[in-house]
A = this chain, B = another copy of it.
Amino acid sequence: VTCFSKDNIMKQTDGLFHQVFDEVAKEYPEIENEHWIVDIGAAKLADTPEVFDVIVMPNLYGDILSDVAAQITGSVGLGGSANIGEECAMFEAIHGSAPPLAGKNIANPSGLLQGAVMMLNHIGQTDVAQKIQNAWLTTLEEGIHTGDIYKEGFSKQHVGTKEFADAVIANLGKTPKLLQAVSYAGAGALQLPTYKRKKPAVKKLVGVDLFVHWTGSDPNELAQKIKTIETNEASLSMITNRGIKVWPDGFKETFCTDHWRCRFKASANGEITKETIVALLTNAIGASIDTIKTENLYEFDGVPRFSVGQGQ
């Protein structure tokens, strides 16, 4: 099992994903596991897909790379997809609706067929699933191919959607000779392990980010304005713009938008109260500072769980 993530850059989201992967991997010591940065992992997948078996990754990467994997190993028309939950499950082709192909008898029905085979296995009709899958493999190795996988000199027959389906139906009961036949005896619904909630971490409120809409351009000017709303408990520690620290000691060349993150940290004992946040917002109203969003800054079990500014 391989994990793809961009945790070297997306430290919070992908970092959490990789961390949970490692935690779960420990529960299955008999399964080999590894991690690839998604960029070079994607390159490897496109180049030599055969080195991977199961790949887990965040939804958006999986959406993109399942298309790459299917296309590079034949066609996006070949991939089936399953979404398994505790309460329900759904099955589909990996590809989209492809409206330009609609009604022309040229689409490859294999993706939908593969989704259906997964569904049949899931609901326990493994014998039917096996029969369809072996008929489909037989059809492919007979060289009966739709346009997306047809290859001159290799394929035998260029067929449409309907004719491909008819060929699969005609092959029901046959097993492939070149490709490996499947046997689904003993397969069945995927058993999801029960999720156990972990003991919650100890949470400590150490500051707050006020996001401010301001059309000026000089971060020092904004800092002066913002410092007027400080309380005894919380003082301004940093301003970022587009994630980059612009105060204190920012670069004057940094391109700034009208969206500024003003970070307040606890002045004294390392902790602030909710009342402090209300006081900051109230002071902001008085000072005509346009706050548009707040994010509380927490430590969990003593570890800061918020991002630092680029350049901080």
The yes or no answer to A6 lying at the interface (CB within 8 A) is yes
Report yes or no: B274 in contact with A278, Cβ–Cβ below 8 A: no
Say yes or no: A285-B278 contact (C-beta < 8 A), given A64-B42, A67-B39, A96-B37.
yes
Does A267 count as interface, using CB distance less than 8 angstroms? Answer: no
A203–B215 CA distance with the chains assembled, in angstroms:
13
Nearest-neighbor residue (CB-CB) of A59 within chain B:
B9
CB-CB under 8 A from A86, the residues of chain B are: 253, 255
**Interface contact A68-B87, CB-CB below 8 Å:** no
A137 on the B face (CB < 8 A) = no
Report if A104 contacts B (CB, 8 A): no
Beta-carbon contact of B293 and A295 below 8 Å: yes
One digit per residue, 1 when the CB lies within 8 angstroms of any chain B CB and 0 when it does not, for chain A 85-121 equals 0111000000110000000000000000000000000
Point out the residue from B46, B291, B296 that lies within 8 Å of A293, measured CB to CB.
Answer: B296
Residue in B60, B95, B274 whose CB lies within 8 Å of A40: B95
Q: Which residues of chain A from 192 to 243 have a CB within 8 Å of any chain B CB?
A: 200, 203, 213, 215
Q: Say whether A46 contacts B64, CB under 8 Å.
A: no
Across-interface contacts of A67 in B (CB, < 8 A): 39-40, 42-43
Number of interface residues of A (CB under 8 A): 51
List the B side residues contacting A23 at CB < 8 Å.
none
Most central of A203, A291, A294, A298 by chain B CB within 10 Å: A294
B96 & A40 in contact (Cβ 8 Å cutoff): yes
Q: Which of B43, B87, B215 contacts A76 (CB 8 A)?
A: B43
Most buried by B among A37, A64, A291: A64
A200 to B281 CA separation, bound complex (whole angstroms): 24
CB–CB B291/A274 < 8 A: yes
Task: Indicate whether A129 reaches chain B with its CB closer than 8 angstroms.
Answer: no
CA distance in complex: A292, B96 (Å): 38
- Across-interface contacts of A274 in B (CB, < 8 A): 281, 284-285, 291
A277 to B275, CA, bound (A): 13
Partner of A296, one of B60, B72, B292: B292
Determine whether A38 belongs to the interface, using a CB cutoff of 8 Å to chain B. yes
Quick one: which of B6, B72, B296 contacts A63, CB cutoff 8 A?
B6
Q: Is the CB of B47 within 8 A of A87?
A: no
How many angstroms between the C-alpha atoms of A86 and B61 in the bound complex?
A: 32
Interface assignment of A44: CB less than 8 Å from any CB of chain B: yes
Contact of A47 (CB < 8 Å), options: B71, B213, B291: B71
Residues of B contacting A266 in the complex (Cβ-Cβ under 8 angstroms): none
18 contacts between A and B (CB under 8 A): A6-B63, A39-B63, A39-B64, A40-B96, A43-B67, A43-B71, A43-B76, A46-B46, A72-B72, A86-B255, A88-B253, A274-B285, A274-B291, A278-B282, A281-B281, A291-B296, A292-B296, A293-B296
